[in-house]
């Protein structure tokens, strides 16, 4: 999982309009069985489509789906 999270973190160098990526292991029992989390902050909502469809994101997303249960959420702050 650590190597996959490192690959996710590298997306900042590959995909435009990523402000920040934070990822790591869950420390509590409050996550309904999820063991790791990833937060990707984009510059604006319009950047979401580019991020989701970018080949680098698709590639790492496929690897994550093969190795973990995924819950994805997109929200505005």
**CB-based contact 71:34 (threshold 8 Å):** yes
Among residues 60, 62, 74, the alpha carbon closest in space to that of 11 is found at 60
- The pLDDT score that the predictor gives to residue 72 is 94
- The pLDDT score that the predictor gives to residue 59 is 98
Q: What is the pTM of this model?
A: 0.91
Q: How confident is the model at residue 30 (pLDDT cuts 50, 70, 90)?
A: very high
Would you list the domain boundaries of the chain?
Answer: 2-67
- The pLDDT score that the predictor gives to residue 67 is 94
Architecture of the domain delimited by 2-67: 2-Layer Sandwich (3.30)
Percentage of the chain beyond pLDDT 70 is 100
Token pair for 2: 């650590």
Q: Which single residue is written with the structure tokens 């249960």?
A: 69
Among residues 70, 36, 35, 40, the alpha carbon closest in space to that of 54 is found at 40
- The pLDDT score that the predictor gives to residue 28 is 95
Alpha-carbon separation of residue 50 from 10, 42, 63 (angstroms): 16, 10, 19
Whether the per-residue pLDDT at 77 is higher than 90: the answer is no
């Amino acid at each position: 999982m650590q190597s996959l999270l490192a690959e996710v973190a590298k997306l900042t160098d590959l995909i435009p309009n990523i402000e920040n990526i934070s990822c790591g292991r869950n420390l509590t029992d409050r996550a309904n069985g999820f063991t790791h989390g990833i937060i990707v902050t984009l510059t604006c909502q319009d950047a979401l489509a580019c991020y989701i469809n970018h080949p680098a994101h698709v590639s790492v997303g496929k690897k994550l789906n093969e190795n973990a249960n995924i819950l994805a959420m997109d929200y505005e702050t």
